[in-house]
């Protein structure tokens, strides 16, 4: 298979890195073979991209929002017309299934642009009247050049979730996609060109976090960083950005509880738990990797859930029948397998899965892991506390509502939670007691982009979503006009 060599995208042009000839290998997770080479960009590349973004900011920030909105609509249309091509590239680059890439990653990336194209037109500012004294109103203006840093699990979706509100609000940006999954971000640059987006509005610098990422975070002319990734990296970025007091949004890891009461719609709870455990190989920050089941239905749940998990098709990500594709990279697969071993050492019972899956032919070197269900561990065990980010879940019984709440909250993370109960009052009581950014009741992963999204505790800082993203990507001023 041919290897695609990426270039940076700076000031509307594809250019080689200043670090000539230095590339990072990116592997196709399903075959283990190198399929993309990514420029190992340096501070000098980031400086060039920031300069281009600063120059573009002068005109882009002044463009009426209707014009900016039109560009976003055009980008959405072009991306949609190339959906299949992008989905296939995302599969090759990330290891996810074609079904997931098509319906979630790329489809929602289109929606991100379309949504913020509309939202920016309808956003309203607050006006306040102090009777007889004064009228105040809010003025908003874009922040400047934004640094947008994204992870490898939902590569295009998470990047466009940043780019769309960023440029809709009048900022320009320098993006640093994950070095494991840069292909669709690179392809997106050709969409920007085709849409006629002015040069320098979106710049893309590829490379490692330590080099290109760090240069962006510490750049004095990048006043804002929007980061999605691991908690350890997030803490490091927070510390590095202190010197310049940057605006920061950190969307970090999760270890989300999935609480199932005995008065739930059992079939729905089981079906959805299969998805919330194993969709995208468990590589979604919102996956429900700690399943708490009321003891009265604990065995019934295991009897229904384990055979379904065991029957999931692990295989060729390009086959529409495949449910579990390949994990993103070798190091990550080793980490996931390490946690399964740790579960054994901690006294856990591997109810199904528990190993790497070796496939035949050109997939024999792929990073496949069987869907794994573990019981018998206390909720305080390392495996039940630390983010694994793979197709591995622990299942624990609980006695009553209070114990379920305590278990769910006993976590360093606070991203999301699902609650399953047909008793509305109970569902509401429990939901309001869980310390996370999103609670789903009798569902999972439904996203209304108008709602705030983000985590508490070690899951992050700040909120994204309609007005919340617009607040982050703008500065706000109150202007108070006296009546006298």
- The interface region with ligand NAD, picked from 43-51, 69-77, 251-259, 347-355 by CB under 6 A, is 251-259
Nearer to ligand NAD, 284 or 312 (CB): 284
Cβ at position 253, least distance to ligand NAD in Å: 3
Pick the binder of ligand NAD from 228, 277, 372, 474 (CB under 6 A). 228
* Smaller CB separation from ligand NAD, 135 or 461: 461
Write out the two tokens for 13: 């042009």
**Between residues 170 and 455, which has the closer beta carbon with respect to ligand NAD?**
455
Which of 252, 312, 337, 373 is in the footprint of ligand NAD by CB under 6 A? 252
The answer to whether residue 460 forms part of the interface with ligand NAD (CB under 6 A) is yes
Q: Which of 90, 251, 283, 351 is catalytic?
A: 251
- Interface stretch with ligand NAD, choices 6-14, 246-254, 268-276, 349-357 (CB under 6 A): 246-254
Q: Which residue in the set 90, 105, 179, 316 belongs to the binding site for ligand NAD (CB under 6 A)?
A: 179
Sorted by sequence, the CB contacts under 8 Å of residue 342 that are 6+ apart come out as: 382, 383
Among 95, 144, 200, 213, the residue binding ligand NAD under the rule CB under 6 A is: 213
399 binds ligand NAD, rule: CB under 6 A: no
For ligand NAD, give the closer residue by CB, 287 or 377: 287
* 95 part of the interface to ligand NAD, by CB under 6 A: no
For helices 83-94 and 107-122, give the axis angle rounded to 10 degrees.
Answer: 120
Least spacing, CB of residue 356 vs ligand NAD, in Å: 19
Task: Provide the 3-class DSSP secondary structure of residue 70.
Answer: helix
- Which CB, 163 or 304, lies closer to ligand NAD? 163
Residue 483 CB contacts under 8 Å (≥ 6 apart), including other chains: 132, 133, 134, 135
- For the chain, first and last CA: distance in Å? 75
194 classed as catalytic: no
- 217 counts as binding ligand NAD under rule CB under 6 A: yes
Under rule CB under 6 A, residue 345 binds ligand NAD:
no
Place of tokens 């990507």: 473
Residue with tokens 């194209």: 117
**Residue with Cβ nearer ligand NAD (220 or 361):** 220
Q: Choose, by CB under 6 A, the member of 74, 108, 162, 176 that binds ligand NAD.
A: 176
Q: What's the chain's Rg over C-alpha atoms?
A: 23
CA geometry: angle at 112 spanning 155 and 193, to 5°?
A: 75
Closest residue by Cα to residue 217 from 227, 229, 204: 227
Contact characters 181-210, ligand NAD, x per CB under 6 A: ---------------------------xxx
CB 414 → ligand NAD: shortest distance, Å? 10
- Contact at 8 Å (CB) between 246 and 224? yes
389 makes contact with ligand NAD (CB under 6 A): yes
Half-sphere CA count of 232, side-chain side, radius 13 A: 3
Q: Can you tell me whether residue 359 is helix, strand or coil?
A: coil
CA distance 117 to 120: 6
With a CB cutoff of 8 Å and minimum separation 6, the contacts of 198 are 12, 56, 59, 60
- Residues 439 and 418 sit within 8 Å (Cβ to Cβ): yes
Residue 455 lies near ligand NAD (rule: CB under 6 A): yes
* 93 lies in the binding site for ligand NAD (CB under 6 A): no
Which residues, in sequence order, are CB contacts of 181 under 8 Å at separation 6+?
A: 26, 90, 93, 94, 152, 155, 328
Give min distance, CB of 411 to ligand NAD, in A: 13
Contacts with ligand NAD by CB under 6 A: the residue count is: 32
Site string for ligand NAD, 128-167 (x = CB under 6 A): ---------------------xxxxx----x---------
* CA separation for the pair 140, 358 (Å, rounded): 55
- Site for ligand NAD contains 237 (CB under 6 A): yes
Report the DSSP beta bridge partners of residue 375. 349
Q: How far is CA 435 from CA 412, 416, 428, 438, in A?
A: 10, 8, 13, 9
Per DSSP, the three-state class of 224 is: strand
Enumerate the active-site residues.
251
Binding residues for ligand NAD (CB under 6 A) = 149-153, 158, 176, 178-179, 208-210, 213-214, 217, 228-230, 233, 236-237, 251-254, 285, 387, 389, 415, 455, 459-460
């Amino acid at each position: 298979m041919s290897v695609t060599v990426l270039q940076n995208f700076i000031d509307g042009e594809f250019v080689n890195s200043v670090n000539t000839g230095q590339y990072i290998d990116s592997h196709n997770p399903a075959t283990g073979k190198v399929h993309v080479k990514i420029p190992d960009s340096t501070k000098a590349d980031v400086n060039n991209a920031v300069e281009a973004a600063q120059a573009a900011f002068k005109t882009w920030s002044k463009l009426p929002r209707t014009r900016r909105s039109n560009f976003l609509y055009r980008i959405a249309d072009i991306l949609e017309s190339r959906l299949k091509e992008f989905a296939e590239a995302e599969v090759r680059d990330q290891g996810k299934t074609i079904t997931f890439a098509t319906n979630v990653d790329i489809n929602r990336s289109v929606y991100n642009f379309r949504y913020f194209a509309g939202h920016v037109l309808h956003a309203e500012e607050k006006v306040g009247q102090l009777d007889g004294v004064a009228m105040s109103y809010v003025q908003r203006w874009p922040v400047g050049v934004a640094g947008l840093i994204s992870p490898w699990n939902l590569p295009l979706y998470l990047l466009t979730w940043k780019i769309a509100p960023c440029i809709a609000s009048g900022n320009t940006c320098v993006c640093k996609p994950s070095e494991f999954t840069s292909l669709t971000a690179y392809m997106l640059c050709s969409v920007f060109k085709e849409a006629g987006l002015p040069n320098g509005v979106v710049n893309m610098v590829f490379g490692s976090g330590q080099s290109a990422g760090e240069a962006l975070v510490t750049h004095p002319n990048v006043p804002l960083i929007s980061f999605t990734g691991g908690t350890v990296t997030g803490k490091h970025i927070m510390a590095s950005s202190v010197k310049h007091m940057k605006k920061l949004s950190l969307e970090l890891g999760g270890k989300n509880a999935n609480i199932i009461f005995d008065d739930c719609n059992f079939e729905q709870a089981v079906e959805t738990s299969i998805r919330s455990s194993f969709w995208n190989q468990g590589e979604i920050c919102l996956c429900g990797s700690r399943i708490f089941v009321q003891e009265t239905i604990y065995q019934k749940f295991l009897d229904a859930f384990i055979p379904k998990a065991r029957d999931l098709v692990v295989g060729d990500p390009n086959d529409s029948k495949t449910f579990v594709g390949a994990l993103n990279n070798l190091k990550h697969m080793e980490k996931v397998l390490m946690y399964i071993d740790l579960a054994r050492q901690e006294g856990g019972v591997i109810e199904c899965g528990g190993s790497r899956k070796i496939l035949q032919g050109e997939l024999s070197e792929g990073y496949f892991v069987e869907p794994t269900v573990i019981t018998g561990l206390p909720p305080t065990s390392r495996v039940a506390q630390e983010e694994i980010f793979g197709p591995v879940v622990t299942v624990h019984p609980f006695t009553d509502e209070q114990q379920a709440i305590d278990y769910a909250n006993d976590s360093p993370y606070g991203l999301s939670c699902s609650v399953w109960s047909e008793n509305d009052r109970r569902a509401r009581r429990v939901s309001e007691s869980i310390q996370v950014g999103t609670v789903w009741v009798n569902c999972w992963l439904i996203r209304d982009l108008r709602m705030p999204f983000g985590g508490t505790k070690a899951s992050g800082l700040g909120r994204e979503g309609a007005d919340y993203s617009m607040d982050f990507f703008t500065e706000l001023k109150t202007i108070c006009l006296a009546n006298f």
